[in-house]
Chains A and B, each alone.
Chain A
Amino acid sequence: MMKSILPTRGLALVAMVCSAVLVVSSAAASEVKVGKNDQGHFVLLRDGAPYFIRGAGGSSHLALLKEHGGNSIRTWGIETLELPVEGKRVIDRCAELGITVAAGIYVGHERHGFDYSDPAQINRQREAVRAAVRKYKDHPALLVWGLGNEMEGPTSDGRDPRIWKELNELAAIVKAEDPHHPVMTVIAGAAPTKVQGILAHYPNIDILGVNAYSGGGGAAAAVKAAGWRKPFVLSEFGPSGHWEVPKTPWGAPIEPASRDKAAAYYSTQKTMTEEAADISLGSYCFVWGQKQETTSTWYGMFLKTGEKLPQVDAMCRAWTDQWPKNRCPRVSRFASELKEAVFAPGQLSTVRAEATDPDGDELKWEWTVTAESTDLKVGGDQESEPPSFPDAIVLAEKNQVVIRTPAKPGNYRVFAIVRDGKGGASAENLCFRIEAKPLPPQ
């Protein structure tokens, strides 16, 4: 499938000359660099033309990304580029759609066992980075290299210089192999100590990526306040993170409502664009796909069954100032006495929801009771799905469900999913707890 990709930049001219007969002329490798516009603002220049990233993290639903106004994806590991999507390898499908790729190259995390004091591990990593760059540097979809993601650790203060120094070495390797694509490194949050660590030990970096959730709109201002003067990308943003929200008395994080999530995506994208025009090259919303992280719906912009959620419509609106052709249902109410309450086993309780569809589509509801997830990790590491309890659903009638509380004491969630039958959906959930002897109401 890569046969149409020309191996060297010099051959691009040949491709241009032959464009009349070769439909793959667009397959010539791009040259991407960082420049400044006439206002003195940093801009990404792709083959000489300004390029603002309207991106999403993930590698699925690529046609839908294009349709909704996105122009770039971000991946985390180089192997993702080979995955099949919509009938092609990810990177080829991107090229076909005119979507660019911030190609992530995994850089070792100490919490996963990588030892930055071990020369053998360091050498192996350097060679892996070199091989990744050699393999994809001439691909036309390549936009920037994403050298590492949160490798300093999400809870780290960034004061340990070893990782920054090694990233500087890795970036030198990338640049030696491919001088035509900038190097971006992504950190978790905009802590001043991390920014200062990079400033002190990692001069080869071209673009600082920051993953930030409730503070996403202000992340560029935060890195500037810490002394950052190079380009910036908001490399992950989305709803408030599960570490940032109120919790139930038993410690379960309360997932934001679907409308609040959509508003958060829109608000962050707009605020970042308006407030950080001087250093921002764009952003990648998280995550263009589905993943289990705390819940099955917290960060995913799609359901596991493939329907898009209102966050996707919000990004379309933010990117294009237009709504997409088909919009997701809008939930206006999701209420129950179960909400954040403690119940005894075997009690009956009703949950009600209300939703409308902006396009007037007929809505269908799906109700699920699951255990609260106990397989909780940090930094987005893979988590397993908790079990569900179909027997807890006594009566489901469209937007209303009667639940018999589970027999086993523990923490649970009720999920409501409403679908429009045309690829759009909304998802809500509430937390409840079962105790053999429930606490008296407060």
Chain B
Amino acid sequence: MKYTFALIVALFTTLSALAQQLDFGDRTSATITSKAWGALNAKNYPDAAAYAQECVKMYEKQAVEMQKQLKEPVPNTDKEAVSKLWALNDVGTCLFIMGQALEKLEKKPEALAAYKKLVETLPFAQCWDPQGWFWKPADGAKGRVKALEFDSLK
């Protein structure tokens, strides 16, 4: 746990420096998350990680509060109810994006730390897929945790 925390702190420092050069628009979680997805899809992994980090930094407290209010995930068929948990959903999604970007940047321990943080602290976050459904970033992160742990086995 201490190691994970140290990695997150080190990562936060690096990405914060990069974040100073980025345009966060209206600084809402939705805008920043959208920019993080855009950078990830454009294979601009440093920017994707930095956008995601900024969203986590700004809205993590609210996200954790929303998570604490839930005993189980909101049914993904209730789009309105899911969408009310905006901070939980965006911060959870950004931790997933951060993990993806850091993997591409060959920062596997840091990626693992981001995924684990998502699984442990925001398991009920949901993300809208433009194909028409919500999915849970924490479910994707669980698989990546297992895959990264396997890859690091000697």
Contact = CB atoms under 8 A, between A and B. Distances in A.
Interface in B132-154: 139, 142-144, 146-148, 150-151, 153-154
A175 B153 CA distance: 45
B139 A218 contact: yes
Measured as residues with beta carbon below 8 angstroms from the partner, the interface class of chain B is 10 to 19
B150 A267 contact: yes
B147 A221 contact: no
A217 interface: yes
Q: Is the interface of A mostly helix, strand, loop or mixed?
A: helix
Nearest to A225: B76
A260 B150 CA distance: 10
B118 to A, nearest CB: 15
Nearest to B142: A271
A315 B92 CA distance: 30
Nearest to A265: B150
Identify the interface centre among B76, B139, B150: most chain A CB within 10 Å of its CB: B150
B125 to A, nearest CB: 15
Interface residues of A, number: 18
A267 B143 contact: yes
A270 interface: yes
Contacts of A268: 143
A267 B139 contact: no
B153 A217 contact: no
Nearest to A217: B143
Interface in A225-241: 225
Interface string A260-274: 101110111011000
A317 interface: yes
A259 B151 CA distance: 7
Contacts of B153: 317
A266 B146 CA distance: 7
A266 B144 CA distance: 11
Contacts of B144: 267
Given A217-B139, A266-B150, 14 more contacts: A217-B142, A217-B143, A217-B146, A218-B139, A218-B143, A221-B139, A260-B147, A262-B150, A263-B148, A263-B150, A266-B147, A267-B147, A267-B150, A317-B153
